[in-house]
Chains A and B, each alone.
Chain A
Amino acid sequence: MPRSVGFKYLFEKRPELKIAIFAGKGGLGKTTSSAALSYKLSTMGKRVLCFSTDPQASLSDIFEKDLFGKGEIEISKNLYVLEIDADKRIKEYVDSIRQKIKDMYKIEEIPREVEDYIESAVAEPAMYESAVYDAMLDVVSQNKYDFYVFDMPPFGHGIRMVAMADILSKWVDKITEARRQAYEYEKVASRLKREKYTEREDQLLKELESIRDRIVSFSRLITDPKGTAFTMVLIPEKMAIVDTEKALKMFEELGLRMSGVVVNQVYPPAILEDPRAPEYLKKRVEAQKPFLREIYEKFEDLILAIIPMLRREPRGLEMIEAVAKELWESTITLDDLEAISKR
């Protein structure tokens, strides 16, 4: 029996899956994998939402349709895509914060120090990332679909949110307790003053609790061992292998489990035996060998699917269908990888 791989086997093992996350650096095939899995599941009768945030709008490229910032759009039966415009979302959000400040203090202009703070917060790269995660939470909590596929931006900060969830929960508990005590000691203070003060504090505490809830939900969403498959896409190249190892280590340190990796852009080893195959192609197959060996040795148990190098760029439903087939049940098996490693 050849040791076959493919998402088919993952779904057989984990029938309760509801979310698949594809992470990794740009240009390795995250968006293609996301689109392909979404397409496959939709043809099996699941209502699927494929979510992406790429500012270069690659879901739009793949589906050959302008989807960027346009909301949830039905591509084919049961297949919906959402390519959010995170910058626009941030802008609207920040404007609402500004308005809130103006309303709260009945002022026309935002004070200088406050405006400075807002602007420096918006300029941070983490701002973009956390805005994306917030949008992810929104779509999942609306619960309109059977399955969600997330094409994630590079994931540094996301891991930190998971670590943060726990710390923040403890802080909020502590603050709530300290606040309750403070309130009891404060009975001597003038009643009017106290009421005004505590009302604002109440709101603030509520806000803090709601932030905690969102961070905790996000952390649950991406670490749920039953419902979520967290996967990374890599290609047979040194940098991608190093990045995947780093991510695995981060996961381990947080006590999390990655569901596995997708190996993309693999030249089928059969090319070497094909007398008609051009020389340059054979050279490329040879060049991939040491990296495929490394991938096999390091990630053998984690490999979920192996996608062969495609002749054309994956665009349009037809190409996505071809990728989906490989993702679901890969033509290249673990045995093939092992054979390459030994050669």
Chain B
Amino acid sequence: MKEKMYIEYLFMLMTIGDMMGIPLLPPYYTLRLLPYMVPNIKGWKLRMLRERDFTDIVTG
């Protein structure tokens, strides 16, 4: 189950990572992955934002 999470996380990172300032794929191609990400997008965004808030507190 952990692996599944890992894959999901990885995919999300690749697709919309650039929203968080870590682009990995050219945007032209990330759009091709987008349809598969639709169900995850909302929750993922929240999770990333939470994590970022956390690191902001630590580093800032």
Contacts and interface: CB of A to CB of B under 8 A. Distances in A.
B19 A120 contact: yes
Contact of B31 (A97, A111, A168): A97
A200 B25 contact: no
Best-surrounded residue of B11, B18, B33, B34 (most CB of chain A within 10 A): B34
A164 B11 contact: no
B32 to A, nearest CB: 6
Contacts of B32: 97, 207, 210-211
A117 B1 contact: no
B7 interface: yes
Q: Interface SS of chain A: helix, strand, loop or mixed?
A: helix
B49 interface: no
A118 interface: yes
B27 A121 contact: yes
Interface string B19-60: 100011111111111111011011001000000000000000
Interface in A195-238: 200-201, 203-204, 207-208, 210-211, 214-215
Interface residues of A, number: 47
A100 B30 CA distance: 14
Contacts of B26: 126-127, 129-130, 133, 157, 161, 164, 215
Given A111-B41, A121-B31, A181-B3, 5 more contacts: A101-B38, A104-B38, A171-B14, A185-B1, A208-B33
29 contacts: A90-B28, A93-B28, A93-B31, A97-B34, A100-B35, A105-B38, A111-B42, A113-B45, A118-B31, A129-B26, A130-B26, A157-B26, A164-B24, A164-B25, A164-B26, A168-B25, A179-B3, A182-B7, A185-B1, A185-B3, A200-B36, A203-B36, A208-B11, A208-B33, A210-B32, A211-B29, A211-B32, A211-B33, A214-B29
Interface of A: 90, 93-94, 97, 100-101, 104-105, 111, 113-114, 117-118, 120-122, 124, 126-127, 129-131, 133-134, 157, 161, 164, 167-168, 171, 175, 178-179, 181-182, 185-186, 200-201, 203-204, 207-208, 210-211, 214-215
